[in-house]
Structure 1
Amino acid sequence: MGRKKEISTDSILDAAEQVIGQSGVARLTIEAVAAQAKISKASVLYVHKTKQALLEALVTRAMQRDDGIHREAELRLDKNDSVALRGRIEVAKTPPPEEFRPIALNLSSALILNTELRRTMQQHQSEVIERIITTSAYPRGALLAYLALEGFKFLDHLDFHKWSATERAQILAELNWLADQDVPVAAATGEKDD
């Protein structure tokens, strides 16, 4: 009797990432994932009943991995202030691998087109922003630095701009500086300060 092939959720999600990276999220099908993972369609359907469930699992895993990487970076910091932000800045010192860029771009398009996935990301971002604010001595400076960091990463991860090593180091140093600034809240245009 032959040995049974071990089918793990991670191996299915890895195959889904490869399909997305090669063909785009529009061509992500249960059949394509099964072929990439070299397993039966029934095996994929056993773990993920629909393409939607597969995408949700993929996005959830990506967020969990992202959180894990940032938490590990936080533990290596020698500062206790703004650890949530500084951990993210530390991770951003290394550019994403080239093979990750098409996956990031395609997952972003899936988030735009899918309300449930977008809600998941919105909840995740709310939690991240709350941690940025609550772990910082200067919450306003840290929040502004986080917003700038996300713009930096957006351009980088979606392959809209590649930063040189010097530019990357300079920008991230400036974001660390901004996190230490006691930035006053500016009045919104058109509103009166009471």
Structure 2
Amino acid sequence: MAKTRKISIDDVLDAAERVVVRLGAVGLSIDEVAREAGISKSRVVYDYKTKSGLLNALVERRIRIDRERIAESERQQQQTDNPPLFGRLAVAGAQTSDSERAVALAICAASSHDEGVQALFRQCTAEDLAAVTRDARRPRASLVAYLAYYGMTIMEYFDLYQWSEAERAGLLRDIGVMYAAFPEP
């Protein structure tokens, strides 16, 4: 008797990310994810119901991973004037991988018509803005620095421009300087 292969939720989402990297958002389908994961289509449908459900799970996982990375970085930035801001700047210092960019682009493209995913992005952005400004001694400086950081990272995620590691480090340092020098009203 054949042994049943155990596959985790992360295995299915890993397969979905590989599909997105290989075929883009257009190629993301329950059939293709099942094929990539080596499981039945019915298993993917059981777990995610629809392509939209699968996309939501991908987005939620990406947000969770990013939040964990940022939380750890914030703990390491406790000595700064604004740990939430400087934690995000520290995380942004790492080069975005081709896989991360491909998944971000595909999720963005696929979510353009998905209200649920758009709501997740809006919620995540609102929570980020609140974290950076809520308890800040310099809320306006925090907001402006966050906008500069966010613009830079979005440009890289969407493959609009890629800075070298040295350029990125310099820009992030400049954002920190801008924060420190920004006049509060």
Which amino acid is the alignment partner of residue 65 of structure 2?
R
Moved more, 71-80 or 85-94: 71-80
Q: Which runs of 5+ in 2 are unaligned?
A: none
Larger radius of gyration: 1
Letter in 2 for 1:4: T
Q: Which residue of 1 aligns with 2:47?
A: 47
Corresponding residue number in structure 2 for 1:189? none
Deviations, residues 101-148 of structure 1 (Å, cap 9, x unaligned): 211111111232222211111011111100100242211111111111
Give, as a single letter, the amino acid of the residue that structure 2 aligns with 1:111: S
Q: Name the structure with the higher helix share.
A: 2
CA contact (8 A) 2:80 2:86 kept: no
User: Partners in 2 of 1:53 and 1:165 — Cα distance?
Assistant: 36
Task: Give 1:91-170 correspondences, 5 Å limit.
Answer: 91-170=91-170
**Matching residue of 1:73:** 73
**Structure 2 counterpart SS, 1:118:** helix
d(CA) in 2 for partners of 1:154 and 1:165?
16
What TM-score does the superposition give when structure 1 sets the normalisation length? 0.90
Q: C-alpha offsets along residues 69-91 of structure 1, whole Å, 9 cap, x if unaligned?
A: 10011112252421111111001
User: Displacement of 1:45 after TM fit?
Assistant: 1.3
Partner of 2:57: 57
Distance 1:61 1:13 in 2: 8
Distance, in Å, in 1 between the alignment partners of 2:135 and 2:177 is 16
**Structure 2 counterpart of 1:177, one-letter code:** V
Q: CA deviation at 1:179?
A: 2.6
**Paired letter, 1:84:** P
The residue that corresponds to 1:191 in the other structure is none
Q: Percent of aligned pairs with the same residue?
A: 32
Residue 31 (structure 2) aligns with: 31
Code of the aligned partner of 2:18:
Q
Contact 2:138–2:184 at 8 Å: present in 1 too? no
Q: Which consecutive unaligned segments of at least 5 residues does structure 1 have?
A: 186-194
Root-mean-square deviation (Å) = 1.4
Q: Over residues 10-47 of structure 1, what are the superposed CA-to-partner deviations in whole Å (9 max), with x where a residue is unaligned?
A: 11111111111111112211100000101111111121
Q: Secondary structure at the match of 2:163?
A: coil
User: Partner residue of 2:6?
Assistant: 6
- Tell me if the contact between 2:52 and 2:114 (Cα under 8 Å) persists in the aligned partners: no
Q: Is the 8 A contact 1:81 1:135 kept in 2?
A: no
**Counterpart code for 1:2:** A
Q: In 2, Cα distance between the equivalents of 1:37 and 1:103?
A: 17
